Amino acid sequence: MIKASFTKRTLIFKQPAGTSRGVLHQKDVFYLLLNDSENPSKKGIGEIAPIPGLSPDPISELEKKISGLVQKINTGKEIGENDFEGFPAVKFGYETAKKGLDSYSPVLLYASDFTNGRKGIPINGLIWMGSKEFMLQQVTAKIAAGFTCLKLKIGAIDFESELEILRSVRELYPAEKLEIRVDANGAFTPENAQEKLEQLAYFDIHSIEQPIQPGQTAEMQKLCAATPLPIALDEELIGITNLSEKIKLLDQIQPQYIILKPTLLGGIKASEEWISLAKERNIGWWVTSALESNIGLNAIAQWTATLGNPHFQGLGTGGLFTNNIDSPLYVSEGFLWHEPKGNWNLEAIL
């Protein structure tokens, strides 16, 4: 019989994290623990880590929801899709905990050349929002660390300063040496977006994530049809769970790319559904983590490694928090790696 429990942990950011929903200094996460009472060596761990203000999961109801799920599991009742309605982060946590329970190890979910240490995953270096000086310092540090793809968060300072940052970077690193992505997090308006896209295109930008706020389907469709640089949908996908709604959204907007964040989209299976629909429509895609600790990042990275996607992925580096869970994940020369003989500090959870 499967027994469940959960623990809570407050992650502390090493430096304030500027997001489209404000600045985060700390972040509460929950770990769902599954155990097989007949085989104590079998365990599963899943991370539930919604982002306040961005995830559909109602934060004030989250702990109660997890507690109810644990109680239902412990009474032997069947868990179904309805148990996660409105709580995609909880679904991701349950799905990955179940995967761990059914696997060789709670932290070895998808065996591949990544998990055996033979192959790394190319990732973009994330440049956080901030002053021009702060953003340029980050660019210099990431390039020195071997990254050949950078993703710049834009929309927090004036647009002219952001263009100056891009100009400074491009003068030193042409497109063939450095891929640049930008993420507007909906900072533009339908009225000024086209002009701003044209200004950004001058710097050989690979793509822009979510130029305008989600929910403006007709306006986003017009942008994707006329854009001088590829557009990737990000927040636009959040909260869309029905298959017919997913099809309708992609067919209406016809984006160049979509971005998959399992914590925000309802887990691995839900993300795979988006990927399948994108492939049918020749829409590009890549996977991005969403401020999870190393438990969630590990699950997302291991799954991503099995997909064979050649693009740079938007996976974290495990270096955001002062009190992260120690793991075998590490970054070298712009790649995320897994050291198969590395240690996990699961005692902090178990």
- Count of CA atoms in the C-beta half-sphere (13 A) of 26: 7
Q: Annotated catalytic, 153?
A: yes
Q: Which of 42, 43, 98, 153 is catalytic?
A: 153
Q: 56-61 long-range CB contacts below 8 Å, 24 or more apart?
A: 56/86, 56/87, 56/88, 56/238, 56/239, 56/264, 57/86, 57/87, 57/88, 57/89, 57/90, 58/86, 58/87
Report the chain's C-alpha Rg in angstroms. 20
Asked if residues 185 and 235 have their Cβ atoms less than 8 Å apart, the reply is yes
Residue 224 DSSP SS3:
helix
Q: Which of 261, 269, 279, 341 is catalytic?
A: 261
Asked if residues 314 and 286 have their Cβ atoms less than 8 Å apart, the reply is yes
Asked if residues 305 and 110 have their Cβ atoms less than 8 Å apart, the reply is yes
Q: Annotated catalytic, 261?
A: yes
Catalytic residue numbers read 153, 261
